[in-house]
Amino acid sequence: GLQRNGKSCRLRWINYLRPGLKHSDFTLEEERIVMKLHTILGNK
C-alpha cells in the first residue's frame, strides 16, 4: 500500500479531508474577488 510520511498526511488533511472545507464551485462574488486581485497582483 501507500506509505505516507507525516508531512504528506498533514497536507492531505489540510487540502482535502478537513471538515468544513468547501468542495463546491466559486460563487460569483468569490470569482469577482479573484479576478480583481489578479488584475492588481498579476501572475505571481
Q: Are 26 and 34 in contact (CB under 8 A)?
A: yes
**For position 2, what pLDDT does the model report?**
76
Question: What confidence tens digit (pLDDT) does each residue in 1-44 have?
Answer: 678 899 999 999 999 999 999 999 999 999 999 999 999 999 98
Q: Domain of 19?
A: 6-41
Q: Are 44 and 37 in contact (CB under 8 A)?
A: no
**For position 1, what pLDDT does the model report?**
67
pTM: 0.55
